[in-house]
Structure 1
Amino acid sequence: MAMRNKKVLPFILMLTLSLFPESLAADIDMVILVSDNEADSTLAESVANIIGAKGIVKVPWGIYNPDYSAEVLKYVPDRVIIIGGPTAVPIDYEKDFEEMGIPYERLWGKNRYETNLAVIQKLKNEFPEEFSQIETVYITHGRDVLSMLMQKELKQMPSKSIWIFTDKSYEELTLQALDEVIKTARNRPWVEIVITSRFVQLAPIDTITNFLKQRGYTEGAHFTISNVRPAKRFILEALKLVDNKTHIAEKFLDGLDIPRAKRRLSIAKEQIARAWKLYSLGDYQEAYILAVAASRNADFVISISAREWNGIIQGRPEIRLKREVLRLEAKVKVLKELGMDVSTIEAEINELKAILNKPVISPDEYRDILLNKIPQIKKELREAFIEEKRSRRRIPVEHVPGRGEKDRAPRKSGR
Structure 2
Amino acid sequence: MMWKKGIALLFGVMLMTMGLAFSGVSAASASQGSSVTVILVSDNAADSALAKYIANLTGAFVVTTPWGVYTPNVTAEIMAYAPDQVIIIGGPAAVPEQYVSDLKELNITVERWWGKNRYGTDVAVIGNATVKLHLKFNGSAVIAPGNDSAAIMEAFMKAIKCHGVIIYANATTDPVRIMGRLRIRPSNITVVYTPVTKGATIRVLERLQLGSSMRVEKVSVNVTREMALDAIATAKERVAYAEKLLANATLKPREKLMVEKTLNESEKLLQRAEEALNNGQYGKAYGLAIAAEAHADFAVRIASEGWQARLRVDPGMGLRMGLVRIEAQLMIMQKAGINVTQIKPLVEKLEEAIKEGNYGLARSLMKQIRFELMKLYATEKLKFRDHIVFPLGGKHGNKHEKP
Taking the TM superposition and a 5 Å limit, the aligned residue runs for 1:217-296 are 217=214, 219=215, 223-254=216-247, 258-296=256-294
Going from structure 1 to structure 2, the CA distance change for 1:146 and 1:354 (only over 3 Å counts) comes to same
Q: Which residue of 2 aligns with 1:342?
A: 340
Judge conservation of contact 1:150–1:230 (CA < 8 Å) in 2: no
Judge conservation of contact 2:146–2:168 (CA < 8 Å) in 1: yes
Which segments of structure 1 move beyond 6 Å, counting only runs of 4 or more? 391-394
List alignment gaps of at least 5 residues for structure 2.
Answer: 1-33, 387-392, 395-403
Taking the TM superposition and a 5 Å limit, the aligned residue runs for 1:5-404 are 28-53=35-60, 55-128=61-134, 131-134=135-138, 136-151=140-155, 157-158=160-161, 160-171=163-174, 174-179=175-180, 183=184, 190-199=188-197, 201-202=200-201, 203-213=203-213, 217=214, 219=215, 223-254=216-247, 258-358=256-356, 360-361=357-358, 366-370=359-363, 372-389=364-381
Alpha-carbon distance in 1 for matches of 2:272, 2:97: 35
**What's the RMSD between the two structures over aligned residues?**
2.7
Alpha-carbon distance in 1 for matches of 2:104, 2:94: 19
TM-score, normalized by length of structure 1?
0.77
Going from structure 1 to structure 2, the CA distance change for 1:88 and 1:190 (only over 3 Å counts) comes to same
The CA deviation at 1:181 is: 5.6
Judge conservation of contact 1:146–1:235 (CA < 8 Å) in 2: no
Which has the bigger relative contact order, CA under 8 A and spacing at least 6? 2
Alpha-carbon distance in 1 for matches of 2:244, 2:140: 40
Alpha-carbon distance in 2 for matches of 1:139, 1:388: 44
Q: Which residue of 2 aligns with 1:408?
A: none
Going from structure 1 to structure 2, the CA distance change for 1:251 and 1:392 (only over 3 Å counts) comes to closer
TM-score, normalized by length of structure 2?
0.80
Partner secondary structure for residue 343 of structure 2: helix
The CA deviation at 1:384 is: 1.5
Going from structure 1 to structure 2, the CA distance change for 1:46 and 1:159 (only over 3 Å counts) comes to farther
The CA deviation at 1:312 is: 1.4
Partner secondary structure for residue 342 of structure 2: helix
State which structure, 1 or 2, has the greater radius of gyration over its C-alpha atoms.
1
- Paired AA for residue 290 in structure 2: V
Going from structure 1 to structure 2, the CA distance change for 1:110 and 1:272 (only over 3 Å counts) comes to same
Alpha-carbon distance in 2 for matches of 1:156, 1:373: 50
Going from structure 1 to structure 2, the CA distance change for 1:316 and 1:156 (only over 3 Å counts) comes to closer
The CA deviation at 1:225 is: 1.3
User: Alignment length, in residue pairs?
Assistant: 350
Partner secondary structure for residue 205 of structure 1: helix
Alpha-carbon distance in 2 for matches of 1:209, 1:347: 68
Query: Identical aligned pairs, as a percentage?
Result: 29
The CA deviation at 1:162 is: 3.9
Judge conservation of contact 1:117–1:177 (CA < 8 Å) in 2: yes
- 1:347-387: CA deviation from partner (whole Å, max 9, x where unpaired): 211111111112x52xxxx23432x3222221221122121
- Paired AA for residue 95 in structure 2: V
Judge conservation of contact 2:248–2:307 (CA < 8 Å) in 1: no
Alpha-carbon distance in 2 for matches of 1:71, 1:78: 14
The CA deviation at 1:156 is: 9.3
Judge conservation of contact 2:156–2:166 (CA < 8 Å) in 1: no
Judge conservation of contact 1:49–1:159 (CA < 8 Å) in 2: no
- 1:69-98: CA deviation from partner (whole Å, max 9, x where unpaired): 111111110000000010110011111101
